[in-house]
Amino acid sequence: MRSEGFATVPVPFVVLTVMLALLPLTACQENRGTLDQIKESGELRVITRNNANTYYIYRGQPMGFEYELAKAFSDALGVELSIKTTDWLDMFEALNKGKGDLVASGVTITAKRDDRVDFSQGYMEVQQQVVVNRDNRQIRELDDLSNATVHVREGTTYQQRLQELNADKNMGIDIVLHQDEPTEELIRKVARGTIDITVADSNIAMLNRRYYPEVRVAFPIQEPQQLGWAVQETSDALLERINEFLTEAKASGLYGDIYERYYGNVHIFDYVDLRKFHQRLQTRLPKFKDMIQTQADKYGFDWKLIAAVIYQESHLNPQARSFTGVKGLMQVTLTTAREMGISNRLDPKQSVAAGVGYLHKIYQRWEEISGFDRMLFSLASYNIGYGHVRDAQKLAKKRDLDPTEWSSLEKTLPLLRIKKYYKDTTFGYARGTEPVRYVNRILTYYDILRKKDV
């Protein structure tokens, strides 16, 4: 019996031996987190959340403020970025179990959290804001929260602050906790009137009133705080490198560029305009959606960006006319109509075909501009003319600004209205503030469209 039994042992024994041999390697991989281990593995594992403010997928491409900042950090390290999403309450546990190297998820630095992890230097200042529906006139200041019902996600600094107000000021706030429900979703519920009050960090609150113009950012309930990345308490070298990167990113303008892409102009809020925009996405856009998609696909453009351009040009009104003589959905000039071979600028299909085709011709001329900035240069050219944008580039060079970056042209285009600057340019005077405003409005509309199912 023993002999037979022994004869049957080798297969499982070998498997068990291999498994045991692999265990230390697996444990090492799972619990790595030092800077040297990250570089050796060639991978930076970032724990984050899947939402509009941190990380999401759009047209098959990863996006989000935290994603782009983390991607820039992985590039600086010369390693690949690996994104790992988890529930809000599980992020620090996942980090400390070695399932990721750092947490980058818009996390506020607090003393309580600092007991569990180590934080980087702060990279964004935020302030907790009360968010209510615009029709809510009862909630105007902090004292109005007494005995009110406030909905927040469980495990947030919002919950902690509300509990402090109850303890310190005896406010009797009824705190309703939502498990792992994004703050954006609670803001949506406020807009719809499903709940009355929530709390959000200022960057989230300001951004989301674009998507839900029916909400009002009422007042702060906390002093300004900082967002930071978190690492394990044993990851000193990694933490030092993160702080170096954040300092360098702010000094070089890299951080500012990423910030502008996601939070630029969030403080500019035109309720009437945005409310009309949301309405017309339902009443006007469906009539032209197919033709916009067709023309956008023809040139490899995102149709939602083209829709944002059309809205900025005509508010999706095919009969729109300007005092300057431009007409139609894309406000095509007579010269452009002839160049693009259309006969009726008020015909929606012809207008979209001519406008998108002409934008593509401009886009081709900016081949030296990389990334999304190439589209921004093209849009500015569509608005004010290619030559004036070239003039703004020359001004940027004179001011030691990078002429291939849109952030530089935001500074120099407005100078074209001032004689001492435009007198030495090729194309002379231009209302240079208009293309900057034009591009920024398009980006606001585009941001909304990307988040909406239209």
The DSSP 8-state label assigned to residue 223 in this structure reads -
- Segment 141-146 long-range contacts (CB within 8 Å, at least 24 positions apart): 141/219, 142/219, 142/221, 145/171, 145/173, 145/197, 145/221, 146/171, 146/172, 146/173
Beta strands in 134-241 (DSSP E): 149-153, 174-178, 197-201, 215-220, 225-231
> Shortest CA distance to 58 belongs to which of 446, 440, 407, 377?
446
Catalytic positions, please? 313
CA dihedral 313, 318, 323, 324 (to 10 degrees): 60
The DSSP 8-state label assigned to residue 117 in this structure reads S
State how beta strands 174-178 and 149-153 pair.
parallel
> Shortest CA distance to 190 belongs to which of 152, 161, 143, 142?
152
Q: What is the residue type of 345?
A: R
| Cα 164 versus chain centre, distance | 31
Query: What is the C-alpha separation between 261 and 79, in angstroms, rounded?
Result: 24
Cα–Cα separations (whole angstroms), residue 2 to 9, 10, 257: 10, 13, 73
Burial level of 84, CB count in 10 A (0-12/13-18/19+)? middle
Query: What is the C-alpha separation between 268 and 209, in angstroms, rounded?
Result: 11
